[in-house]
Amino acid sequence: MKNKCVLVTGSGTGIGREIALEFARCGAAVALHYSHTRDGAASAVEEIRRAGGRAEAFSADFNRTEEAQRLAAQALEFLGGLDVLVNNAGVTMNMPFLKVTPEQFDTLYHVNVRAQFFLTQAVVPALAASRGNIINLSSIHALRGAPGHAVYAGTKGAIIAYTRELAVELAPLGIRVNTIAPGAVTVDNHRKVMSTDPDALGDGIPCGFAGTPGDVAKLAVFVAGDHARYLLGQTLVLDGGSTSWMAFGDGFRHFSDAPFGRGYVPGV
């Protein structure tokens, strides 16, 4: 990744922030994106600069397509080109299917799918020039069902389908497109909204523990590198064996009381 130029969306917190830091540790210049709170992205920028790297943070509200397109222009201007786009930005929500509002539905699809689509469209010429990479972040929610996640799962399933098509369409331009679908990865947001210790999630995962943002970040760097040059159009499931397990029991009967989406998705 030395001297590569990378844009990571949704990099103010959690997985996205760690992906940005990992690319920087490997020698890349990084443009970070945040939506509302600058603190996490700003501290990551300072960390990268203290280590001798080059980084800047940019704000964009992904409910507004024009702001996603503006982010593309700002990142390209700062970086001077683009080698890797990591589409990580996303918002989740758990809400019973019968209670979902059109506004909530639109919020998740605008942020998780629409903004990503048009941001990617805006940077494809730069990625074609560098024969670069696009990495889209999906989720095991796209592959397995959980009560209350009909909207979120739909957006993540769309990302997987869109990745396959885009990989084929952009391959003649020398651009590789792949998806990472993480399983349970403990981030600060989980600790804020879950009534139980998120570290206890490991009890239901075959490997015995939940993943970390660093696990996803290291895989993202590998996928973007030359060692993965034959990898294209794939969904890499990073879940400790969760989707390999044939679950039995009545877990599907229970709706989680964790208020995912509160403060961001209307009405949550």
- Among candidate residues 34, 109, 152, 230, the one labeled active-site is 152
Distance of CA 70 to the CA centre of its chain: 19
Distance of CA 44 to the CA centre of its chain: 17
Both tokens of residue 232?
Answer: 């294209």
Chain position carrying tokens 């990073």: 238
152 is a catalytic site residue: yes
Both tokens of residue 207?
Answer: 């490997």
Q: What residues contact residue 264 under an 8 Å CB cut-off, 6+ apart?
A: 36, 91, 107
- Report the alpha-carbon distance of residue 81 to residue 77 in Å, rounded: 7
Distance of CA 259 to the CA centre of its chain: 20
Q: Is the dihedral of CA 119, 120, 126, 130 positive or negative?
A: positive
Residues tagged active-site: 152
